[in-house]
Amino acid sequence: MGKEKKQNKGWKPGKGWVAGLLVGVLLVLIVGVQWVSGSESGTDEGADYTVYEVYEEAPVLFDGRVQALDIQEVYLDGGSEELVELYVTNGQTVEPGTELLTYQNEEAQRQLDDQRRQRERLVSRRSALETDRANAVNGRDRAEREGNQYKEDSALEGEAVGRFESELSSYEMEIAEAEMEISQIDQADQDLLEQLEDLDFSINRLSDQAKVTEKAVISGQVHVNPGGTEDGQGTGAPYLSIVSEDVEIEASVSEYDFEKIKKGEKVHISLTNSDREMEGAITYVSSIPAQVSGENETARYLFTVSPDEPIQYGFSVEIAFYEGLIYLPASTVISEEEGTYVYVYNDGTAERRPVEVESEGNMYLLKEGLMSGEEVLEEPEDTLSDGDEVSVRYD
């Protein structure tokens, strides 16, 4: 019986070994991709530094109301003032100096009539004085003529000296009495003149009050309210108003933020009834607080803002005042003898940059050196240098 010959066919790998090899290659590829991705993006858990984004502090916000910059109001006292004529129409635009209306003050008119009657009486008395003075002057002149004539006649006829002197004395007395009467009349007339001057001044003033023509002192749009009257106590609605086209925003600031705002500072304005926004500037800050009702109530101060664009009267707005404050965590600031600096993260590298800061508790107030939106490294190592490549993570 013959022997069986064995044939050597060679070694062949099993299926399990091939699968294991493929898994191993795949794991290597995954690790490599993650390492590359982590190095480039800086989001890997093994990143070296966290970063702090520099930002400006939120603005101080105020609620405001739009109002006319200038308003002229004309009131009529319903008890004593009566409209004579209206020269403008509702909605009309006027300029300073435009005649608006004329009204009559009944009380002033009554006083004016009394003053005029009194003036007539004074004029009549002065006329009588002028007549009395003319008579006194005539009497004096007659006495002087007769006295002079007596002197001439007596001298021609050679009458006795005693009789001459007696007659002459009577003429001189009559002349003196006439002179005194004239002087008294002149003084009375001067008194009447002074009274007339006072009366004329009073009459002119009452004439202005009795019939008054109101004129526009500002430019703007006319609003007529026929039912507007004053109740004599300083209250009521104006009969006519002029509202300027220019507007301002009125708001108030508490005592805690009072020192932050200053005249001329820029502000951002947002309308509450739409998404419209604009810039503006503070035009006035009152140094006197508004009336405080309670002892523990916070004082508030009025301030006004001029918007850069027109806004409708009466609209509500929000005023944002940006102080421009930027704070840095103490973990980002390095202080050395030569100065203070931070490391700015810039496209995968660390930029050493000098900054000017002011310590405020556990934060630093930035004075100079950074801009909002930049990123700085937190807790940089002592071995870190300008231009070093770094990887970061974002918490």
pLDDT in tens, 64-117: 999 999 999 998 876 677 888 999 999 999 999 999 999 887 777 677 778 778
State yes or no: pLDDT of 232 exceeds 60: no
* pLDDT tens, residue by residue, 183-219: 888 888 888 888 888 888 887 887 777 788 899 999 9
% of the chain exceeding 90 in pLDDT: 44
| pTM for this entry | 0.54
The domain locations on the chain are: 70-98+216-245, 107-206, 246-320, 326-393
> Are 333 and 364 spatial neighbours (Cβ–Cβ below 8 Å)?
yes
What CATH code would you report for 107-206?
1.10.287
Fold of the domain built from segment(s) 246-320: Elongation Factor Tu (Ef-tu); domain 3 (2.40.30)
Each as own residue / partner, the long-range contacts of residues 369-372 (CB below 8 Å, 24 or more positions apart, any chain) are: 369/342, 370/54, 370/326, 370/328, 370/342, 370/344, 371/54, 372/54, 372/55, 372/56, 372/326
pLDDT at 11: 42
What CATH code would you report for 326-393?
2.40.420.20
Query: For residue 354, what are the CA distances in angstroms to 326, 344, 368?
Result: 16, 10, 9
Lowest mean pLDDT of 75-79, 298-302, 309-313, name the range.
75-79
